[in-house]
Amino acid sequence: MNLKLSHYAIAVHDLSKAAETYNKLFGMKVSGEIHNEWGSFDALELGFFGERTLLLMSPTDEKNNISQQMKLRSTESNPYGDGFHVAVFQSDDPRDAAAYVEKQGGKVIDSGLDSGMHIVHPMSCNFVLWEIQPTRPSHNPDIDLKFSHIGIAVNDLDASVETYTKIFSLVQEPAKWVSDAGKFKTAPISLNGNQVVTLLNPQSDDAPMKRLMNSRIDKFNLHGEGFYMAIWTSKDPLAWAKKIQSAGGRVLDDGSKSGRVLIHPSSTHGILMEITSESA
């Protein structure tokens, strides 16, 4: 199956403010505007050289799926519920890719209007919403900060590996490893030699990831599974930490010891971001 991980989208309450944040912290610029009547949202494409590296989405109907998810996610520290909405695969033949996913047991919804875009229901894949879109021009190779993959918090690591390798025909990497600091175990999943997903399983009840999962439990999502973090790569993560801090961003780990920079979700409209070395 022909797939390539492209970008992810963030649901935000104020498009202009969010675009300003990503420009200030990362230097991303608005490369396109979208008004989607079918999905009832407006969106801004962000990139460095006119490409789409990230998508910001804001609902135009308080009853649509995006609005409902934001309301469920709202807390005292995140009153508008800004945060992750969807991860996007691209394909030269989206309909064929969607048919394959459906054949393997995934629930697929056609976005309509002959757009060639297909939504994979989150209940099919650990409560992460995925979309399959037609292939767009590739990113400029000179971009230093590149989106790499997403981390997904799961209750059962082995079962989740089976889900992603079956539905999307992804490949489990041989190595599983445990983060003592974060108190979680991971399973990297790749596509054509490139990592696209890290499945993350908390190893103790007091792990930050476990606390987040507990807060998301409902009658459908019995274990609070779902998106946990976005991983980006750079030739110099430590330089990005300094740049982000100087621009007012909250950095949890500046990478001086770990080599991996962690940026607090309060600075990125609900997204825990990691910047790691391209060679990591």
Same domain? 17 vs 109: yes
Domain assignment present for 261: yes
Residue 140 has pLDDT above 90, yes or no: no
Check: CB of residue 228 under 8 Å from CB of residue 153.
yes
In terms of Cα–Cα distance, which of 5, 64, 58, 8 is closest to 33? 58
The confidence band for 280, taking pLDDT boundaries of 50, 70 and 90, is: low
Same domain? 259 vs 160: yes
The confidence band for 156, taking pLDDT boundaries of 50, 70 and 90, is: very high
pLDDT value of position 79? 96
**Structural domain containing residue 253:** 146-277
pLDDT value of position 139? 66
Same domain? 126 vs 249: no
CA–CA separation, 169 and 101 (whole Å): 8
Same domain? 167 vs 241: yes
Same domain? 221 vs 265: yes
Check: CB of residue 170 under 8 Å from CB of residue 89.
no
In terms of Cα–Cα distance, which of 234, 196, 198 is closest to 89? 196
Domain assignment present for 150: yes
Domain assignment present for 22: yes
Q: Of 105, 134, 163, which residue sits at a domain end?
A: 134
Q: Which two tokens stand for residue 185?
A: 């175990």
One-letter-per-residue 3-state SS of the chain: CCCEEEEEEEECCCHHHHHHHHHHHHCCEEEEEEEECCCCEEEEEEECCCCCCEEEEEECCCCCHHHHHHHHHCCCCCCCCCEEEEEEEEECCHHHHHHHHHHCCCCEEECCCCCCCEEECHHHCCCCCEEEEECCCCCCCCCCCEEEEEEEECCCHHHHHHHHHHHCCCEECCCCEEECCCCEEEEEEEECCEEEEEEEEECCCCCHHHHHHHHCCCCCCCCCCEEEEEEEEECCHHHHHHHHHHCCCCEEECCCCCCCEEECHHHCCCCCEEEEECCC
CA–CA separation, 213 and 222 (whole Å): 9
Check: CB of residue 265 under 8 Å from CB of residue 21.
no
For the stretch 27-56, pLDDT in tens is 999 999 999 988 899 999 999 988 899 999
Domain assignment present for 115: yes
Domain assignment present for 141: no
Same domain? 152 vs 116: no
pLDDT value of position 266? 96
**Dihedral, 162, 275, 6, 192 alpha carbons, nearest 10:** -50
Same domain? 160 vs 107: no
pLDDT value of position 278? 85
Same domain? 14 vs 130: yes
The CATH number linked to 223 is: 3.10.180.10
Q: Token match 């490369």: residue?
A: 31
Greatest CA separation for the chain: 50
Same domain? 150 vs 272: yes
Looking at residues 182-192, what average pLDDT do you find?
89
pLDDT value of position 192? 87
Domain assignment present for 140: no
Q: Of 109, 134, 159, which residue sits at a domain end?
A: 134
Tally of domains within the chain: 2
For the stretch 233-246, pLDDT in tens is 999 999 999 999 99
Domain assignment present for 69: yes
Domain assignment present for 266: yes
Same domain? 162 vs 263: yes
Same domain? 10 vs 56: yes
Instruction: Give the up-direction half-sphere exposure of residue 206: CA atoms within 13 A in the CB hemisphere.
Output: 2
Looking at residues 146-175, what average pLDDT do you find?
93
Same domain? 56 vs 152: no
Q: What are phi and psi for residue 13, nearest 5 degrees?
A: -90, -20
For the stretch 66-119, pLDDT in tens is 999 999 999 999 999 999 999 999 999 999 999 999 999 999 998 765 668 899
Q: Of 91, 109, 134, which residue sits at a domain end?
A: 134
* AA identity, residue 117: M
